């Protein structure tokens, strides 16, 4: 139907992966659940809602930085750039880059949520009918390859990892991601990364516990997903969302807190919760520019440029392999 949309490379994690990680997380002390499982179709829609709430400053601030510096990025990238986006989601931010780049020759959106990825790729194919779009459904914390096709226009490879999603990795996992992406993209390629900056506790906690309840719904959807896909019996209304700034670790921590004593089952397992007991569901690390550069240098990248907004809320970096 869409001439420019290529066949999906489907490496979506299986339900068995989800089950194994839920068992591992709920038998750990303290209990955890991995944040990458937030993003099923419902979770991806809820995340798009978070991006619109006033307290969640990250999206609009990053978009403004990208809009201001799109011409600089286009100059660094050169003609015929091939753009590879990690965690492409709704594919909003990339439009700005694609419009600014000089004759981009391919776009590879990578996302863990297949339905969301395909919807976004179709919408993009409609608006960019001459741009080959090669969607990959994958967990980008694992290794994979991109099946490039012959393309005479092919220019520099440019990775794009917006939204401060790197903050959802532990610092050592973040470095692993950069090492793997450097291998995937190859020497001379660029990486454009959005990184949220440390700031006042009240601003951070409001961003991760908005008045509209968007983040609470997003966090609780993890339990709903486990009920839907693994036939678990979480009583979702017996848990509440919590977000806390941990200044010593420079990260916002998200939890689901059990309101009562309760038990939940999965296959032969039973997970018991005391009142007040927490499941740790996400970390969102905030890096100063110098700390971030130090970590990515050790992972094989060099700094080309870094920009922030006037209020120093967020940063966008251009790195080179
Ligand atoms: C995707 N990621 C960068 C978001 C963040 O800010 O850490 C996920 C999120 N969690 C709660 N709100 C948004």
10-67: pLDDT as tens digits:
887 788 899 999 999 999 999 999 999 999 989 999 999 999 999 999 999 999 999 9
Q: What is the mean pLDDT of the chain?
A: 94
Burial class (CB in 10 A: 0-12, 13-18, 19+), 270: exposed
Residues 284-297, mean pLDDT to the nearest whole number: 97
Ligand 1 centroid from CA 119, angstroms: 21
Q: Is the CB of 88 under 6 A from ligand 1?
A: no
Q: Are 297 and 162 in contact (CB under 8 A)?
A: no
pTM above 0.90, yes or no: yes
Q: What is the pLDDT of residue 1?
A: 65
What pLDDT digit, counting tens, does each position of 63-99 carry?
A: 999 999 999 999 999 999 999 999 888 888 899 999 9
CA 185 – CA 177 distance, rounded (Å)? 12
Using CA positions, which residue lies closest to atom 6 of ligand 1?
284
DSSP category for residue 5: B
Does the CB atom of residue 165 touch ligand 1 within 6 A? yes
pLDDT higher than threshold 80 for residue 3 = no
Query: Which residue in 243, 233, 264 sits closest to 201, CA to CA?
Result: 243
Q: How many whole angstroms from 171 Cα to the centroid of ligand 1? A: 16
Which atom, in ligand 1's list, is nearest to the CA of 284? 7
Q: What are the tokens at 296?
A: 């990515």
Give me the residue label for tokens 């990250």. 58
Ligand 1 site, residue 189, Cβ cutoff 6 A:
no
Has residue 2 got a pLDDT over 80? no
What percent of the chain stands above pLDDT 90? Answer: 84
Q: Given the DSSP bridges, would you call strands 302-308 and 314-320 parallel, antiparallel or unpaired?
A: antiparallel
CB of 283 within 6 A of ligand 1: the answer is no
So what's the pLDDT on residue 85? 95
The pLDDT tens digits of the residues spanning 156-211 come to 999 999 999 999 999 999 999 999 999 999 999 999 999 999 999 999 999 999 99
> What local confidence, expressed as pLDDT, does residue 284 receive?
98
Ligand 1 in contact with 167 (CB < 6 A)? yes
Q: Which of 272, 239, 243, 271 is nearest to 255 (CA)?
A: 243
d(CA 318, CA 306): 6
Q: Would you say 251 and 261 are in contact if contact means Cβ atoms under 8 Å apart?
A: no
Q: Whose CA is nearest to atom 5 of ligand 1?
A: 284
CB half-sphere exposure, 189, CA atoms < 13 A: 22
pLDDT digits (tens, 9 = 90+) for 256-274: 999 999 999 998 999 999 9
Residue 185 Cβ inside 6 Å of ligand 1? The answer reads no
Distance CA 284, CA 121 (A): 27
Asked whether the predicted pLDDT for residue 151 surpasses 80, the reply is no
Q: Mean of the pLDDT values across residues 289-304?
A: 96
């Amino acid at each position: 139907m869409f001439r420019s949309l290529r066949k999906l490379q489907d490496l979506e994690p299986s339900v068995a992966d989800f089950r194994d990680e839920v068992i591992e997380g709920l038998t750990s002390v303290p209990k955890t659940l991995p944040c990458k499982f937030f993003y099923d179709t419902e979770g991806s829609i809820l995340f798009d809602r978070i991006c619109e709430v006033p307290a969640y400053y990250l999206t609009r601030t990053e978009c403004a930085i990208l809009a201001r510096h799109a011409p600089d990025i286009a100059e660094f990238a050169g003609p015929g750039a091939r753009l590879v986006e990690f965690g492409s989601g709704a594919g909003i931010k990339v439009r700005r880059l694609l419009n600014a780049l000089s004759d981009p020759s391919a776009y590879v959106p990578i996302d863990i949520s297949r339905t969301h990825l395909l919807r976004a790729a179709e919408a993009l194919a409609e608006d960019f009918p001459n741009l080959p779009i090669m969607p990959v459904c994958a967990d980008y914390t694992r290794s994979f390859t991109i099946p490039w096709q012959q393309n005479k226009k092919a220019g520099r490879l440019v990775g794009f990892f917006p939204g401060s999603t790197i903050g959802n990795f532990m610092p050592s996992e973040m470095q692993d991601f950069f090492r793997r992406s450097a291998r995937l993209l190859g020497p001379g390629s660029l990486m454009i990364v959005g990184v949220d900056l440390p700031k006042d506790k009240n601003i951070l906690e409001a961003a991760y516990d908005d008045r509209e309840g968007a983040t609470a719904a997003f966090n609780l959807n993890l339990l709903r997903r486990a009920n839907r896909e693994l036939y678990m019996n979480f009583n979702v209304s017996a848990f509440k969302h919590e977000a806390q700034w941990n200044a010593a670790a420079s990260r916002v921590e998200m939890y689901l807190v059990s309101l009562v004593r309760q038990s939940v089952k999965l296959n032969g397992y039973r997970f018991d919760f005391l009142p007040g007991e927490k499941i740790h569901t996400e970390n969102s690390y905030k890096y100063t520019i110098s700390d971030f550069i130090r970590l990515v240098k050790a992972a094989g990248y060099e700094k080309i440029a870094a920009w922030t907004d006037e209020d120093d809320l967020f940063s966008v970096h251009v790195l080179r392999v």
